[in-house]
Amino acid sequence: MTTFPQSLPGSSAPVRMWLPTHELEPTAADQVRAMSRVPGIEGIAIMPDAHAGKGAVVGSVIAMRDAVMPSAVGVDIGCGMTAVQTSLSLADLPDDLGPLRKGIEGAVPVGFSAHSGHAPILSNPHHRRLRARTDRLFGSFERLTAPGVNTLEGRAIAQCGTLGGGNHFIEVCADERGLVWLTLHSGSRNIGKSLAERHIEKAKTLEWNAGLPDPELAVFIRNNPDGTVADEWNNYMRDLFWAQDYAALNREVMLATVQSVLASALPGVKFWDRVSCHHNYVAKENYDGVDLVVTRKGAINADRGTHGIIPGSMGTGSYIVRGLGYELAYRSASHGAGRRLSRGAAKRQFTIDDAATQTAGVECRKDAGILDELPGAYKDIESVMSYQADLVEPVARLTTLLCVKG
């Protein structure tokens, strides 16, 4: 029986892995070793969905002291998931979910599409609080510091409540009891990307980053030599936390929109408490009395009692989980199944026939545009869950019925 955590030979800082060492691809292992040599690194936890990323490994938790690595957060700042259980059961759903999918696709812009201004749902008097939250967030837009972003406010408003592309999705699922859930996955859209790219490029110019093995590992250090807080640090942290708030708001606006579509199709539906979690983000946390900056790059908070969402892939469903607060993992768990094939490899390997086979029973697109997102491009979610049994406990296993992809 495999025991966790495992270590990674050749690392300079402590690395604890919830993945068998031989299952970590060589490129990802080299990235972890390079990450362990970055100034300010306190330790790294590798989740069971880990795979190579740009600079930093996807599926890693990076704990730093008075330092932060902007490219580890990546360009989709605050990307994460939201789920809500409904009052519906499987028996309440129509046999043909096609019209419901088309209704969702018609209400939530996907890919590069956006609203013409604020999302229409924000004009609904039932969502006054959500509109007030939106107004508060954009009331602080002018305080963002990254060069040139002042021209992007209109686009950020129009993209709030939109899905985007890649691995983002909206799903209708059912749990083991036959109860229906809504889940969605998205992040901070173009504004998060623009903020991230500008700060990453700034970090690469700083003198202490000159000797790094990969410029993508560039960091901001909190303090100047005289002990004052560095402007670059303050600027990045301000923009970062704004983008994380935007990502959470984006998901809330989308969820309200999808709930409205479902309520129109199935009047009388009710929605219970939601679960929401970032999985590309930074948090200030304390471990053993030490204040640390923790970056979860493809990982969720799994503090004791905290609920989170761990998706598999389109067609394989998701888990609702409860955190167990494992300190050695920096109270974290995986953010999904993790890619097994790169997007390019998946597009070369799979066909439209594979799309039909691998998504059988799921109401979704079955065209060439989803080949890189097929279940076969991802690791087995059940194996991933088994490796992190001491990090989270399952609360519900969701099976996908309908999937909208960006």
157 is in an annotated binding site: no
118 is in an annotated binding site: no
| pLDDT tens, position by position, 156-189 | 999 999 999 989 999 999 999 999 999 999 999 9
312 is in an annotated binding site: yes
369 is in an annotated binding site: no
| φ, ψ (nearest 5 deg) of residue 159 | -90, -5
| pLDDT tens, position by position, 7-30 | 999 999 999 999 999 999 999 999
Where residue 140 falls among pLDDT bands split at 50, 70, 90? very high
**CB 257, CB 130: distance < 8 Å:** no
| pLDDT tens, position by position, 282-306 | 999 999 999 999 999 999 999 999 9
> What is the reported pLDDT for 206?
95
**What's the CA angle centered on 124, arms 118 and 127, to 5 degrees?**
90
| pLDDT tens, position by position, 326-354 | 999 999 999 999 999 999 999 999 999 99
Query: Which class for 348: exposed (0-12), middle (13-18), buried (19 or more C-beta within 10 A)?
Result: exposed
Question: Is the pLDDT reported for residue 246 higher than 80?
Answer: yes
In the chain, the largest separation of any two C-alpha atoms, in whole Å, equals 68
Question: Is the pLDDT reported for residue 99 higher than 80?
Answer: yes
Mean pLDDT of the chain: 96
**What's the CA angle centered on 84, arms 78 and 88, to 5 degrees?**
155
Give the domains, in start order, of the chain with CATH numbers.
Answer: 15-340+378-405 (3.90.1860.10), 347-377 (no CATH)
> What's the pTM?
0.97
Residue numbers annotated as active site? 335
Question: Is the pLDDT reported for residue 315 higher than 80?
Answer: no
> What is the reported pLDDT for 211?
86
Is beta strand 392-405 parallel, antiparallel or unpaired with respect to 15-17?
A: unpaired
pLDDT average, residue stretch 136-159: 97
197 is in an annotated binding site: no
247 is in an annotated binding site: no
Question: Is the pLDDT reported for residue 144 higher than 70?
Answer: yes
Q: Helix 231-265 crosses helix 98-107 at what angle (to 10 degrees)?
A: 140
> What is the reported pLDDT for 61?
98
170 is in an annotated binding site: yes
220 is in an annotated binding site: no
168 is in an annotated binding site: yes
> What is the reported pLDDT for 316?
87
**CB 352, CB 366: distance < 8 Å:** yes
> What is the reported pLDDT for 273?
85
167 is in an annotated binding site: yes
> What is the reported pLDDT for 1?
65
